[in-house]
Amino acid sequence: MSEKRAIWLVADDYAQDPAIDAAILALAGAGRLSATSVLTQSPHWPAAAAALLDQPELAVGLHFNLTHVWQGRAPSLARVILAALAGSLPGPWLRQLWREQIDRFEDALGRAPDYIDGHQHVHQLPQIRGMIVEEMARRYGRMLPLRSTLPRHWRGWKAALIAGLGARGIPVQCRLNSDFAGVYAFQGERFAAMMRRWLQDIRTGGMVMCHPGGRADGDPLAASRPQEWAYLASPDFIKDLDRAGVRLLHRRDMLSLRSVSGA
């Protein structure tokens, strides 16, 4: 019998809303997630962080945010992308947001993030990714793993567009994952069918991004989150992992990789 492919299954947007947190914590408690990426600017973060302390097998990463806002205003994703491509994002503003968000992570959990990614994938954009690499070196003297959005074969135009905005600019030695899946329109597709396809073709060390949750007010993914949660919590998900010959990686695997690499 061949060895199972080991992959990362990562739930985004933890701390955005308690309805999202409830789903992620339930799935983590059942061993059905590898990791979750957290929004530390959220007013829900302190309480949400406390709940993560009871999930030692769950890797926790910083979901660096520039575009989601709870109060006040934030730039649109399109504006951030255009400014980053032009190299015209205000450097002090970027660094201030980075330091505030990572400080809030460390203050709540008492440690550095296990990895870094970005809300709406902003971490990979030119100018932003360079700032993150510099700030990690300054703060930790080493690189934390970064999410790569680079799929190893065709997974649709949306996935190609996301990867094209900066995935190849992330240094190979910093990439957490060897493949990337989980991109879709979040508009009525059958998540279970897509997950089965991703599980069949994701390579070892690859990552599937997911967004499970209950319905949260004002959430643009409100229609798809409950669908994802229902499938990932179901017996069908475990059967599909088995049929595909896939197992999930967990925080201990990330720490082991870091110790072998010396990162």
pLDDT in tens, 163-176: 999 999 999 989 99
pLDDT of residue 1: 52
Reported as a pLDDT band with limits 50, 70 and 90, residue 258 is low
**C-alpha–C-alpha distance, residues 42 and 134, integer Å:** 25
70 band by pLDDT with thresholds 50, 70 and 90 = confident
**Closest C-alpha to 45, from 96, 93, 106:** 106
| Domain assignment of residue 170, given as a range | 5-261
Instruction: Give yes or no for a contact between 167 and 124, defined as CB atoms under 8 angstroms apart.
Output: yes
**Burial status of residue 85 (CB atoms within 10 A of its CB: 0-12, 13-18, 19 or more):** middle
Number of domains in the chain: 1
Distance CA 244, CA 196 (A): 8
Which residues have a Cβ under 8 Å from the Cβ of 138 and sit 6 or more positions away?
none
**DSSP conformation class of 188:** S
Q: What is the pTM of this model?
A: 0.94
Q: In this structure, what CATH number is given to the domain that contains residue 100?
A: 3.20.20.370
% helix, strand, coil for the chain, step of 5:
45, 15, 40
| Residue that has been written with the tokens 């983590």 in this structure | 28
> Distances from the Cα of 112 to the Cαs of 42, 66, 251, in angstroms?
18, 20, 13
Q: What is the pLDDT of residues 183-238, one digit of tens each?
A: 998 876 789 999 999 999 999 999 999 999 998 878 889 889 999 999 999 999 99
Per-residue confidence (pLDDT) for residue 256, from 0 to 100: 73
